[in-house]
């Protein structure tokens, strides 16, 4: 296969696990027949961007540098390849964590691209077009096969739509897969980027929603976002009141924490699904699962079809992320604040701010 032509675009990259993100120039391919070229308007800042850029997941997914993070992308189509049928220039478009996978693999044929071993992540995966690795959304533009580009509803605030492409689908999918949570008691552990979306979806699906938080200052917000009850997880008394009562718990915590405390919250045959991805293993007390045949599972983003379904659901229910919009120059500060839990509840980068940034390397 001949290599497509490419052009440089501005981006922010990390050169190592310990270097701050800084302005850079990266190549993007000219659209091939099935490609959609997108000018990026907003990109959400996911905690996974930090885990990856700082190589915290080294044992599972070693980082490759330079690394351009960003997989919560919303933008406008600027050019399409000759065979593209889904999009035309001027359309809004979204890109999440995946940009390619072999359409003939059994998972993709079943509509489960997120299970495919051939999947290409938006950043850090081999780039079959240009060599090297794929680069993410902290950049002016991106070029993606139309199969992995989402239609973005025009009635929603775009800065708040960007985080739906990862935080949104990652919380929507496991609740949908669990079954009908209407009328069920659902817990969301951790009120961050994922957690606050989990609360909004659980409420929209008709569940009785309980937030577990380590942050007393988030209590009012949790109620405003849709929770019926809030539990301070560091209060043994508050925790004890809910023992053995949950049908489903979604755990979004990004760091080490006591999983067993939440397993004990489940009723008989209840299920806890992990979506948070701490870098070190979590301990599981066998008895917390054995008693009452409780279940512990995990979930990774969602399929492309499910992501479109989620975006359309958000359009109908007027759901977006609560965002703090930042210029790209504030990204290193945003990482430090995100680690401290100091954001309500997702940073969304206004990518127009990149246009004024000098490329220094
Ligand atoms: P985030 O905005 O930083 O939220 C994480 C929340 O966890 C914090 O707001 C905090 O909530 C709680 N938390 C943090 N440190 C804690 C600790 N030491 N003990 C107890 N609670 C703590 O992060 P995010 O972007 O939502 O991502 C959350 C996790 O999901 C990350 O590990 C990320 O990599 C992962 N993720 C997974 C997928 C997937 O497909 N499975 C997709 C995206 C992200 P409170 O202040 O309320 O306690
Ligand atoms: Zn993410």
With a CB cutoff of 8 Å and minimum separation 6, the contacts of 347 are: 44, 45, 323, 324, 325, 326, 334, 337, 338
The domain made up of 6-164+302-354 has a fold known as Quinone Oxidoreductase; Chain A, domain 1 (3.90.180)
Where in the chain are the domains? 6-164+302-354, 167-298
Residue owning the nearest CA to atom 7 of ligand 1: 253
**Closest-approaching ligand to the CA atom of 343:** 1
| Cα 218 to ligand 1 centre (Å) | 14
- Quick one: 167-298 is in which CATH superfamily? NAD(P)-binding Rossmann-like Domain (3.40.50.720)
Determine the distance separating the centroid of ligand 2 and the alpha carbon of 50, expressed in angstroms.
10
Strand partners, 139: 11
Q: Is the CB of 46 under 6 A from ligand 1?
A: yes
Per DSSP bridges, beta strands 346-350 and 323-327 are parallel
Query: pLDDT grade, residue 359 (50/70/90)?
Result: confident
Q: Which of 202, 68, 86 is nearest to 150 (CA)?
A: 86
Coil, strand or helix at 59: coil
Distant-in-sequence, close-in-space partners of 361: CB < 8 Å, separation ≥ 6: 22, 23, 24, 25
Q: Residue 129, class by beta-carbon neighbours within 10 Å (0-12 exposed, 13-18 middle, 19+ buried)?
A: buried
Q: Which of 69, 190, 223 to mutate to test the pocket of ligand 1 (most atoms within 8 A of CB)?
A: 190
- Atom number of ligand 1 nearest to Cα 274: 41
Each residue's pLDDT tens digit, 71-130: 999 999 999 999 999 999 999 999 999 999 999 999 999 999 999 999 999 999 999 999
Ligand closest to CA 70: 2
Q: 273-324, pLDDT tens digit by residue? A: 999 999 999 999 999 999 999 999 999 999 999 999 999 999 999 999 999 9
**Ligand 1 and 171: CB distance under 6 A:** no
Determine the pLDDT at residue 357: 82
């Amino acid at each position: 296969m001949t290599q497509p032509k490419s052009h440089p675009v501005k981006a922010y990259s990390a050169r190592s696990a310990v270097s701050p993100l800084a302005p850079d120039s990266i190549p993007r391919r000219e659209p091939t027949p099935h490609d959609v070229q997108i000018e990026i308007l907003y990109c959400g800042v996911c905690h996974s961007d930090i885990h990856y850029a700082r190589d915290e997941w080294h044992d599972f997914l070693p980082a490759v540098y330079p690394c351009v993070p960003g997989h919560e992308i919303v933008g406008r189509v600027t050019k399409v390849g000759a065979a593209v049928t889904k999009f035309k220039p001027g359309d809004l478009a979204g890109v999440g964590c995946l940009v390619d996978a072999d359409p003939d693999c059994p998972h993709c044929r079943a509509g489960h691209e997120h299970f495919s071993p051939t999947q290409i992540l938006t950043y850090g995966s081999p780039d079959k077009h240009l060599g090297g690795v794929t680069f993410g959304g902290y950049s002016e533009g991106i070029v993606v096969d139309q199969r992995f580009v989402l239609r973005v509803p025009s009635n929603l605030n775009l800065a708040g739509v960007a985080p739906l492409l990862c935080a949104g689908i990652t919380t929507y999918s496991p609740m949908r897969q669990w079954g009908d949570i209407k009328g069920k008691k659902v817990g969301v552990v951790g009120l961050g980027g994922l957690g606050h979306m989990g609360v909004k979806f659980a409420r929209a699906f008709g569940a009785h929603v309980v937030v577990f938080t380590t942050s007393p200052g988030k209590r009012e917000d949790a109620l405003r976002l849709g929770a019926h009850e809030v539990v301070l997880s560091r209060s043994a008394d508050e925790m004890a009141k809910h023992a053995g009562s949950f049908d489903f718990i979604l755990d979004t915590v990004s760091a080490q924490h006591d999983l067993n405390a939440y397993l004990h919250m489940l009723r008989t045959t209840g299920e806890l699904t992990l979506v948070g991805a701490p870098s070190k293993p979590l301990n599981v007390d066998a008895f917390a699962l054995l008693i009452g045949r409780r279940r512990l599972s995990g979930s990774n983003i969602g399929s492309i079809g499910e992501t479109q379904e989620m975006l359309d659901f958000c359009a109908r229910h007027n759901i977006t992320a609560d965002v703090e919009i930042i210029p790209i120059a504030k990204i290193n500060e945003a990482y430090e604040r995100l680690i401290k839990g100091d954001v309500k509840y997702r940073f969304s980068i206004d990518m127009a701010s990149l246009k004024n940034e000098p490329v220094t390397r």
